Each structure stands twice: as structure tokens, then as C-alpha cells.
Amino acid sequence: MTAHMHTGRLGRAAIAALAVAAAVATAPAALADIGSAVGRVGAKAVTLPGGGLQLFARSTAGELLTVGFRPTGPLGEWGAWTGLHQQISGQPSAVVGAGGLVSVFALNPAGHLITDWQESADGPFDHSGDLGSGFAGDPLPVAAADGTMAVFLRGADGNLWTTRQSVPDGGWSAPALVAGGVGIVGTPSAVVDGAGVVSLFAARPDGHLLTVWQDAAGAPLSNVADLGTGFAPDAGTASILNGDGTMSVFLRGSGDILVTVGQTVPGGGWSAPTPVRDAVTVSGTPAAVRRADGSVGVLALRDGRLMGAWQAMPHGAFDTYYEGRGDIDYSGDLVVPGSPDNNVTLYVHGADGQLHGAFGVALPDRPGWTGTSVPPAPGGLA
């Protein structure tokens, strides 16, 4: 790996958790930060102070794009898609820090990890940096309570790599192997627990599920455990911190069946892989969301349609199931904010090359979904 050090204002105090408060069918939900105060995980959409939303994507021409929603007026208002003058491959991931300033990370076509960021709230993304080369996977940024950030991603050698800050808003370290070298596929997912300890989850090319974690907040991720085998060799993971401090992971198992593994007690062992519901098969990477009562929902794509399965109570069975009518042929992974009031807003790429939103109410018997408008991106999205 090659480091390209940049010492500008890159550190932001925290990554915004994506959460939804209330919504109307023509606008995204009002947004609230329900993430852990000890650290948060990046995503393709970030919430802003005051209820705004910023989405990031890649155009069909390979340019890094962004569009924002601001809660002005009774319904709020979307802006226009804006190009950030960066050519990227794969998908970006963004973070929000102190003062509502946003930073976004992505790979460029040469395998360099690049970042763009604001210097003022709602300001332009007119600052950029190169954090190193030799990478192949989409980045996953994680922020600590002290404002320092780390980015995790797969290298061209197939191993999990990281680069990190030692002080908030400081420079970035040279890229380094995680845990001495851990081979993965796809993009890892992460959980930050109540003590600020980061745990990463990813599948190995041989179908094993791995977790890598710290002994304490701020320490290296030096612990590695194998959580079992029989998973799809290209499975992406969705991980979540349950209300009682345990963690759960969702991914595709053998035959693309949606399965989950979870802890029974915080810091304890892990269950064997279990189908989420009736051996339902899905595509892509699922997304998980924790509701205000501590119960968890998992969403995924099934034959181009949106499906969701929900627990009636924390650690309960996923007895509530919903599958969309197929009005839109979805083709991309989900971007799903969590919700403090049992509502969920998600964003997903459609086969038409545009980003679509859906607002859902997870009722006890059946969740219902309505469309939310996202401005079409000229030329489409990749």
C-alpha cells in the first residue's frame, strides 16, 4: 500500500447515525440522531443538524455526486444533484462531524482512497485529499467519541486494511493491515458498542464469517474470530447493536438464504447461523435497523422487490414479513436509516438507474410502504 498523506481538516467529531422521526409521502422523514455517543459508522447517506439529509452516489460516467434535502417549509425541499469533480469506482461513504460538516470517502479508478469535505455547514465540497493507494473495496469510515476517524476497506491483495487519524482533524496514518492480514470479500460492516469498542464483520472468500474487534476503545483491532461457515462466498454483511448490548449480523447463506448469527449475552459467544424467516432467498447485501422498542428489522431485495422481516419483540422471531409488489425493479444495495419511532425510510438504486426512496411504518401486523421522491440524477446513477 502507498500512503499519500494529507494533513488538512479531515477529522470530524462523529459519524451521524441515520434515523427517521416522521414523514410525508413526498418528502423524506425528519431526521434524528439516535447513534451511540461513543462512536458511529459511516454510510452513503448522512443526517445533518436540524433535520437535513445528504446522499452520495456515483454517476454512470463515474463522477462522485451528492444531493441534499433540507426541512424547509411544510414538506421540505430537495436540491439538485451536484458533481464533486472526482472520478470514483464503487460506492462512496460519508460522515458528519462537529458543526454539521460532512466528509465523504471513495475509491478512484486507480485504487486510491480519496476524500472530499466541507469547511462550513452547507458549504461546497471544495477540499479533497488522497489517503493512499492499492485498494479494491468500498470504504467504511468509523468515528470515535474523541473525533478521530478510521477507514476500513479491502485492499487489492484481498486483505482488510485501515488508515486512521491520531488526533481529531489531523493527518492520516499510512495504510496498515488489520490484525496482521485478514482476507475478506466485499465491504465490512461495523458496530460500535456502549464502551466505544469497534467490531468489524465480513465474509471470507471460502464462505466463513469473520469478526475483528478491539480490546478497548482506541486500541488496534487485533482480535479475530471465525463465526462459522456455509455463507455465500460473496456475501455482504449488515450488523447491528441490539438494545441489550448484544450484536447481530445478517447476510446471505448457502443458496442465498437470508440468515443471522447473534450473541446471547454482551461480549459472549455467537449462535449458529439461523434462517431469518422460512428460508427466504435474497440478493445483494441486506440492511438492518433497530426500532425504539429494541426490536430489529432486516430488509433486503428479493427478485428485484423490497422485502422486510421484523421482530415483534427484542430477540424474538422475525414473524412479521412484507414483500413489495414489484412496482420498481430494484437492483442495488439498500441505504436504510434507523428510526426512533418505528418508522423507516430507505433509499435504493433502481434498475432504471435512479435512486428511489420508500417510507414505511412497521405496524405490529404488517408494515406499509409509500414512495418518497428523490430528484432524478441527469444521466442516471451507477
**Rounded Cα distance, 112 and 75, in Å:** 39
* The C-alpha cell that represents 360 in the structure block: 414505511
The predicted pLDDT at position 335 comes to 65
The larger pLDDT score, comparing residue 336 to residue 221, is at: 221
**Rounded Cα distance, 187 and 153, in Å:** 6
92, 114 contact by CB (below 8 A): no
| Alpha carbon 62 to its chain's center | 20
**Rounded Cα distance, 90 and 64, in Å:** 10
Could you tell me which CATH class the domain 39-372 is placed in?
A: mainly beta
**Rounded Cα distance, 172 and 165, in Å:** 5
What confidence tens digit (pLDDT) does each residue in 58-75 have? 999 999 999 998 888 887
Pairing of strands 343-350, 330-335: antiparallel
Mean pLDDT in residue range 108-137: 94
Of 278, 317, 275, 277, give the one whose Cα is nearest residue 295: 317
The rounded mean pLDDT for the chain is 81
Q: Residue 190's beta-bridge partner residues?
A: 200
Q: Out of 69-83, 126-140, 312-326, which region has the weakest mean confidence (pLDDT)? A: 312-326
What confidence tens digit (pLDDT) does each residue in 158-201 have? 999 999 988 877 889 999 999 999 999 989 999 989 898 999 99
178, 162 contact by CB (below 8 A): yes
The predicted pLDDT at position 81 comes to 95
The predicted pLDDT at position 331 comes to 62
What confidence tens digit (pLDDT) does each residue in 246-282 have? 999 999 999 999 999 999 899 999 999 999 988 899 9
What is the DSSP secondary-structure string of 117-184? E-SSTT----EEEE--B-B-S--EEEEETTS-EEEEEEBTTSBEEEEEBSSTT--BPPPEESTT--B-
The predicted pLDDT at position 358 comes to 65
Residues with Cβ within 8 Å of 335's Cβ and at least 6 positions away in sequence, in order, are 18, 43, 44, 45, 55, 287, 346, 347, 348
The larger pLDDT score, comparing residue 44 to residue 368, is at: 44
The predicted pLDDT at position 368 comes to 52
**Rounded Cα distance, 46 and 33, in Å:** 10
Per domain, the residue ranges of the chain are: 39-372
335 φ, ψ (degrees, to nearest 5)? -115, 105
Q: Is the pLDDT of residue 30 over 50?
A: no
Element (H, E) at 202: strand 198-203
Q: What pTM value is reported for the model?
A: 0.85
